[in-house]
Amino acid sequence: DGVVEVLARRGDTLLDVFVEVPCSGDYDGYQRFEGCTPRRCGRGVTDAVITREEAERIRRIAERGLSLGGSDGGASILDLHSGALSLGTHFVNLYRYFGDKIHDIFTEEDFALYRDVRQRIQQKIAQVFGISSSSMYLTKPTFFSRINSTEAKTTHDEYWHPHVDKVTYGSFDYTSLLYLSDYAEDFGGGRFVFMDAGSNKTIEPQAGRVSFFTSGSENLHRVEKVHWGTRYAITISFTCNPGHGIGDPVLM
């Protein structure tokens, strides 16, 4: 692993940490959108956008939704946009699968909070990278994740492999994660790791902390295996291509 540097420790309150890195060539293979496609690349962390109380409310949304299913392995996802929910070794559409019962699980207030949080994260990314928030579009997949130490049953459970978001999901230009639980208190392992040449930069999750970064190879990353407890987070990603944009989820 080489040298390990902690970019953000649990227990610290970070207003704004930003590390600029040279952009990769990953964006050159896609249509460029002036005023949005990354020309300045890097990664940031902030504890000043979402409160801990808001993060706890968001986590309860995830807990209620994931209580309807869950993977047989260690990683479960819930996507409020598409309705994708881990169930055993596959996925179901929770809106079709559970029908009107969904209204017993989620409320309009839940979805309003989700929208508000998404908008604030979008505005923070736009501010830091010097672009217009209106030139960014939410893109898929955008999802809650629940990770525990259960052994993987399918490749979908193998969350720990190094990857590049722009390569995995061509639409991604900016990626963000809102952490909904605390490293070393709610779970062990599970740190977020940027893998740079000769060193790793780690982020220790805590409820309300937001990390965000340009989605190309300049930000190769992985998540450490969770050894105990349960790690909750939500991945919210943005594209510069309006053709790949999606709307906020609505309670069906």
Give the CATH number, domain containing residue 185: 2.60.120.620
In a domain, 181, yes or no: yes
Give the chain's count of helices (H) and strands (E). Answer: 4, 16
Cβ contacts of 92 within 8 Å, gap of 6 or more: 69, 84, 85
In a domain, 105, yes or no: yes
- Write out the residue range of the structural domain in which residue 94 sits: 5-244
In a domain, 252, yes or no: no
* Cα 148 to Cα 93, 123, 124, distances in angstroms: 22, 31, 30
In a domain, 162, yes or no: yes
Q: Do the Cβ atoms of 247 and 82 come closer than 8 Å?
A: no
pLDDT for 3 equals 76
In a domain, 9, yes or no: yes
Write out the two tokens for 3. Answer: 């040298």
In a domain, 40, yes or no: yes
pLDDT for 42 equals 98
In a domain, 207, yes or no: yes
pLDDT for 2 equals 60
Per-residue pLDDT of the chain (252 residues; tens, 9 = 90+): 567 899 999 999 999 999 999 999 999 999 999 999 999 999 999 999 999 999 999 999 999 999 999 999 999 999 999 999 999 999 999 999 999 899 999 999 999 999 999 999 999 999 999 999 999 999 999 999 999 999 999 999 999 999 999 999 999 999 999 999 999 999 999 999 999 988 999 999 999 999 999 999 999 999 999 999 999 999 999 999 999 999 999 887
Residue by residue, DSSP assigns 125-174 as HHHHHT--GGG-EEEEEEEEEEE-SPPP-SGGG-TTS-B-HHHHSTT-SE
How far apart, in Å, do the first and last CA atoms of the chain sit? 46
d(CA 168, CA 21): 20
Query: How many separate domains does the chain show?
Result: 1
**Residue 196 identity (one-letter amino acid):** D
Q: Which residues are catalytic?
A: 231
In a domain, 250, yes or no: no
Q: Do the Cβ atoms of 172 and 165 come closer than 8 Å?
A: yes
